[in-house]
Amino acid sequence: MGDSRRGSSSTPQSRKIMVIADPTRESAAALQYALSHAVLEQDELILVHVENNGASWKNAFSSFLRLPSSSSSSTSGSSPGANANANIANTVSSLASEIGQGEGNFLEQMKRICEIAQPKVRVQTECITMDGIKAAAILLHGDKLGVEVIIIGQRRTISSSLLGSMRPGGSLIGSKGVDTAEYLIENSKCTCVGVQKKGQNGGYVLNTKTHKNVWLLA
C-alpha cells in the first residue's frame, strides 16, 4: 500500500490529491511522501491549509526553506529521477529545520517545492476557515473538490495508536483532543494516508483505514 500511484495504463486518468499543509515537520513529511510516492504528472495536487475563523495564516516563516535553483537541480552521472528525489529530500529537510524564523507565505513556498520536484503536475493552494472541528472542515472541503486521495502528516503516539484501533466509526469527532489524522483516516470517503517520517533517511510509517503502521523506505 506504500505507493498511492495507480498502475500503468495507456491513458492514465487525472486524480485530485489533497495534502494538508501546515508549517510543521509532519506536514513537510506528508508533502515529501506525496511528491515522491503518490503524485503522477497528470494529477492535480491541492495544498490545503485550515485555520481558525478570523486567524491569520500568514505565519512568520522567512527562510522557511532553502529552494534549489532549477538550473542546478541536476548533477552529472545521476539519473533525473534520483536528482528529483534528492532535491525533494533536501528541500523538505530545510523546511522542517527552519520553522519559526522570519516571515513568509509557507503555502506559496510549499507550492514552489512541488513545482521544482514535479514541474508537470498542476498545483494549487487553498486556505479554508473552520468554526468547529478541523477534521470535519477537511472532509467537507474534500467532498466539495472531489478529491481521491488525502495525505496528512501524522505525529504517532501510543494513545493515538490505541484510539485509531479502538474508535468505533469515528464517534469521537466532537470530543476534545481527537487526532485529526486518525479521524480522517477512519472516516474519509476517499483514501486517506497518514504519514510519519522516520528520521532523515529512515523512510515513512504509513497508515490507512485498512493498513496500519506500514514501513516504507524513502
145: CATH: 3.40.50.620
Residue 77 lies in a domain: no
What domain range is 207 assigned to? 16-52+85-154+177-216
Residue 10 lies in a domain: no
Residue 131 lies in a domain: yes
The number of folded domains in the chain is 1
Residue 147 lies in a domain: yes
Residue 128 lies in a domain: yes
- 159 compared with 84, residue with greater pLDDT: 84
Position 111 pLDDT exceeds 70: yes
pLDDT in tens, 186-214: 999 999 999 998 877 778 999 999 999 99
* Bridge partners of residue 124, in order along the sequence: 46
pLDDT in tens, 131-186: 888 999 999 999 999 999 999 999 866 544 454 444 444 334 434 566 899 999 99
Residue 57 lies in a domain: no
Residue 79 lies in a domain: no
Measure the CA angle with vertex 186, ends 185 and 190; round to 5°: 65
pLDDT in tens, 4-57: 665 555 667 899 999 999 988 899 899 999 999 999 999 999 999 998 765 444
Q: Would you state the pLDDT for residue 132?
A: 84
